[in-house]
Amino acid sequence: MDNGLPTSIVIFGASGDLTQRKLVPSLFNLYRKGRLPKQFRIVGYGNTAFSDDQFRAHLKEGLKEFASFKYKSDEWGTFASNLVYQQGRYTDLADFKKLGNLLKNWEINSGNRIYYMATPPGVFPNIIDLLGLTDQLTEYNGWRRVVIEKPFGTDLESARSLNEQIHKTLNERQIYRIDHYLGKETVQNILMTRFANTIFEPLWNRNYIDHVEITVAEQVGVEHRGRFYDNVGVLRDMFQNHLLQLTSLVAMEPPASFDATALRNEKVKVLSSIRSMKEEEVLKWTVGAQYKGYREEEGVDPKSTTPTYAAIRLQIDNWRWQGVPFYLRSGKSLKEKLSQITIEFKKPPHLLFPSTDGALTANMLVLYLQPHEGVHWRFEAKVPDTVAKLRSVDMEFHYDETFGKTALPEAYERLLLDTITGDASLFTRADEVESAWALIDPITEAWEASRKNQPLAFYEPGSWGPSEADELLAHEGRTWSTWDARKD
Ligand code: BG6
């Protein structure tokens, strides 16, 4: 709810990529849609020496390159007059005092504040400490919220100590840990598909579903992020957050309401029902691999064993999902950019059509997260003018056809707006982050231990990943489905 007070949005790391590519274009589009508070100001804070005008010019450049919407130059002009910049260090008390004064002078007596950590993860605990020391986080008159970008820790222990540290200065309700996947319309639509329809939920369980597959494939390699990525790898970069979030949304029980506490309680229950793997299980049910040529990327150790691809079979130990494998895979330098969730149903128990030779295709519900966002429902139909020949056909919904080509906003728009309105549903809670790390840690540890006697698997850039990942499913008589919504 807008309390009518002036609202400051402070971005730490304001001279960086994220601010130029995502944050400011998203804030600008919210402004164009009339969704920002009446009085708002965006304060960029960073190491780079920018004047206000240079900062605005830098952001305008970014807009030309990255904004997916058209705008009028006078719209930018009025928006940009609300943008200011303060050069400062992340370790200097005096710089933080200066920031506090800048905000106070603009607010006069009272105001709301968002502090957005778009910095490398190493510095944000320090920023939060300095904000605390300069009394910028107490909610005297107006709320204070802190947005934290991923990665949140590098394992369970570091995430726990980070949570402990920031809880000294902030209440959990003031903390917004971002996972940009939750801002994607198609990801939110998982909940709508499941809980705003009656036709799916009765089937959404072990009685009817054979397995679930979640693929998040990227065509790009590590690009200019080699140094960062080499210390992180695919499990920390994609699985601990995005893929486990997708898993929770697919697997969770219906929450009692669409509010942050109810929703996040159900997600945490799923994460804590996923069976944690022992070392021998990790070696059996997971595959890690690296794309050929990764070691030659800029910033990457020439002997690196960092995985850029992973495939994992998860088992959820609860009444709904017992015995239904969840296969997750993600990697860089793959054949194409494609994120999809496939729910594969069980085959009919008895085949009465002779022409199928026992090879009836199972029904599938495919949620295309990106690109070609939409939903396909695949079922069997009779081929006309045959006795009983069957073929798989699709019922399709695509966002661009139904809602228009520009209907899907940038994920950050929704998340920034939710931060302003105080809705934390699409942000990860402390216990959620920790539960996710508790699942990832045994895998990273087993992989690291196995490197001593087991060589790393490699895959060709432009392929669908290593053959070991196909074997993971072949083992159980299954294959990965990689439909392309354009062709099917
Ligand atoms: C980020 C990862 O969280 O997600 C990147 O750090 C990855 O490595 C990106 O490329 C993928 O996001 P999207 O929205 O392009 O699927």
What are the structural domain ranges in the chain? 7-149, 182-409+428-487
pLDDT at 467 exceeding the cut of 80: yes
Reported in sequence order, the residue ranges of 109-268 that DSSP labels E, i.e. its strands, are 112-117, 144-148, 175-177, 209-217
Q: Cα of 407 to ligand 1 centre, how many Å? A: 21
* Segments of 151-285 assigned E as strands: 175-177, 209-217
Q: Ligand 1 pocket test: which of 218, 297, 309, 339 has the largest number of ligand atoms within 8 Å of its C-beta?
A: 218
Query: pLDDT digit string (tens) for 296-332?
Result: 999 999 999 999 999 999 999 999 999 999 999 999 9
The tokens describing 235, both together, are: 């499990």
- Is the domain spanning 7-149 CATH 3.40.640.10? The answer is no
Q: Grade residue 73 by pLDDT with cuts at 50, 70 and 90.
A: confident
End-to-end CA distance of the chain: 44
- Does residue 471 surpass a pLDDT of 50? yes
In this predicted structure, the answer to whether residue 450 has a pLDDT above a threshold of 60 is: yes
Confidence class of residue 32 from pLDDT cuts 50, 70 and 90? very high
How much is the pLDDT for 484? 59
Distance from residue 415's CA to the centre of ligand 1 (Å): 16
- Residue whose CB lies within 8 A of the most ligand 1 atoms, among 242, 243, 291, 408, for a mutation test: 242
CA of 217 to the centre of ligand 1 (A): 10
pLDDT of residue 486: 54
Distance 266 CA to ligand 1 centre (A): 25
**331-335, 343-347, 385-389, range with the lowest pLDDT:** 385-389
Ligand 1: residues with CB < 6 A are 218, 237
Confidence of residue 355 (pLDDT cuts 50, 70, 90): low
Say whether pLDDT at 387 is over 90. no
Position 455 confidence tier, pLDDT thresholds 50, 70, 90? confident
**Going by CA atoms, what residue is nearest to atom 4 of ligand 1?**
238
Per-residue 3-state assignment (H helix, E strand, C coil) for 446-457: HHHHHCCCCCCE
Specify the pTM. 0.96
Mean pLDDT of 447-474: 92
Residue-level pLDDT at 191: 96
Write down the pLDDT at residue 366.
Answer: 96
Quick one: which atom of ligand 1 is closest to the CA of 220? 10
**309-315 and 286-291 beta bridge pairing:** antiparallel
Q: What is the pLDDT of residues 143-181, one digit of tens each?
A: 999 999 999 999 999 999 999 999 999 999 999 999 999
Domain 182-409+428-487 has CATH 3.40.50.300: no
Which positions are annotated as active-site residues? 242
Q: What is the mean pLDDT of residues 391-420?
A: 94
Q: Please, which pLDDT band fits residue 109 given cuts at 50, 70 and 90?
A: confident
For the ranges 234-238, 405-409, 454-458, the maximum mean pLDDT occurs at 234-238
| Sequence-ordered list of residues with C-beta below 8 angstroms from that of 223, at least 6 positions apart, any chain | none
Worst-scoring range by mean pLDDT, 350-364, 442-456, 472-486?
350-364
**Nearest ligand 1 atom, CA 150:** 3
**Residue 1: is its pLDDT beyond 70?**
no
Residue range 177-205: mean pLDDT, rounded: 96
pLDDT at 485: 57
Confidence of residue 488 (pLDDT cuts 50, 70, 90): very low
Using pLDDT thresholds of 50, 70 and 90, give the confidence band for residue 469: very high
For residue 62, the tally of other CB atoms under 10 A from its CB is 18
The pLDDT of residue 406 is above 90:
no
Q: If you average pLDDT over residues 435-459, what whole number do you get?
A: 92
How many whole angstroms from 94 Cα to the centroid of ligand 1?
35
Mutational pocket test of ligand 1: of 178, 223, 225, 237, the residue with most ligand atoms within 8 Å of the beta carbon: 237
pLDDT at 105 over 70: yes
Cα–Cα distance, 263 to 428 (Å, whole number) = 10
Which ligand 1 atom is nearest residue 241's CA?
3
- In this structure, the residue with its CA closest to atom 9 of ligand 1 is 238
Backbone angles phi, psi at 410, to 5 degrees: -60, 135
* Whole-number average pLDDT of the chain: 94
Tell me the C-alpha distance between 478 and 351, whole Å: 20
Whether residue 437 is predicted with pLDDT greater than 80 in this model: the reply is: yes
